[in-house]
Amino acid sequence: MVFEVTKISEGVVKPAEPTPNKTLRLAWVDRYPTHRGLVESIHIYRAATDPAKVIREALAKALVFFYPLAGHIIEPVPGDPSIECSAKGVYFVEANANCSLEDVKYLHRPLLIPKEELVPCPGPKDWEVEPHNTSIMMQVTTFTCGGFVLGLRTNHAVADGMGAAQFIQAVGDMARRLPEPLVLPVWDREKFPDPKIKPSPIPELPVLALDYVILDFSMDYIKKLKSKYMDFTGKICSTFDILCAKLWQCRTRALDLKHESEVKLGFFASVRHLLKLNKGYYGNSIFPVKVTASSNKILNSTLVEVVNLIREAKERMAEEFFKFAREEIDTDPFQMTFNYESVYVSDWSKLGFVDADYGFGKPMLCSPLVNNDFIASVVILKAPAPLEGARLLASCVTKEHSMEFVKGMNNME
């Protein structure tokens, strides 16, 4: 069987009511060069009735509150982008698939339907705004089983992961006929520090030819790893901490570095609590956490000791962030090292995407559409319903090292 997606309609959804017409400046971190791009994701729901109609109408209502997202990015001064609240709207596609979700294995990787058919990809004749200047785009694809997939493209310059999840939760609130979103949005970008530190230029990215693997871990597996940490320290550690430590150690071992090398682990942490931001803040509010060690240090340490390295780096983050905010440093803290010895981790499990309910229940799976050959990366997801635990989307080793990495991750020792 050839799996096909047919577009039923496509066009612009504008706010359901008049909205302010003004220009809003983005925060320093929003303006960071690497954030000027669309993050693609799919959100899979088992069953619904006329989901495209429901979501389209709810989207128009939600945009009244999130009116900047109905605008687009402008850059009258190079390097200083803003949002023009023009009410141009959000590009929206309704589509049907000729198969059930089960037929395409609930879109577990590898995708049996190309991602380009699941997310909106308008041409210049369809949508006058260039993709990197678009705030958000949506597509609802209904399957023969009654389930549907929401394909989402959000501009990282306008919202971070928590902010994007806040918005689609608000669309869900409107779909469930609430009078307003449960969490009302605030712009407040002026509350994020605006130091005079210049962002580093985008570096030349290597070609690493990374393998792509999916690893599922049960709650039992995670609890056993956490209990080891508790037994040795008497303290509790998070699922993120223990999985990061495990993958960093297993990856370092799989790389089989012949000489002692410097290995790096990086991820972004929220600073909403440090800035005491309103919970309705949906812009970028993140700061990098970087951990560097010798390969021998990671290989010869216990898992508990590797967890402690990560926790110590997280504890230093607040001090490093406020130094950045007070301009006590003159180098760009967001600058990353892109080589095979460095790995970056994103945690999607607690962003809030899994709580978006359009009146049909919560999604069985929310997943970014990430697969690149230039950044060794791992994404942590909540396991697909009804499973409990975690799923790792790993694109962090080459084929040569993949088997050893997977073997290590599956080993409880």
Name the residues annotated as catalytic: 156, 357
Instruction: Give every CB contact of residue 413 below 8 A, 6+ residues apart in sequence.
Output: none
User: Are 60 and 53 in contact, with CB atoms under 8 Å apart?
Assistant: no
Q: Are strands 389-398 and 377-382 parallel, antiparallel or unpaired?
A: antiparallel
Q: CA 408 to CA 413: how far, in whole Å?
A: 9
Q: CA 90 to CA 69: how far, in whole Å?
A: 8
Please name the residue ranges forming H helices in 256-302: 272-275, 295-300
Instruction: Give every CB contact of residue 115 below 8 A, 6+ residues apart in sequence.
Output: 40, 42, 369
User: Are 2 and 113 in contact, with CB atoms under 8 Å apart?
Assistant: no
Distance of CA 93 to the CA centre of its chain: 22
Q: Return contacts of 334-338, CB within 8 angstroms, 24+ apart.
A: 334/29, 334/32, 334/34, 334/199, 334/200, 334/288, 335/200, 336/203, 336/266, 336/288, 337/264, 338/203, 338/205, 338/206, 338/374, 338/375
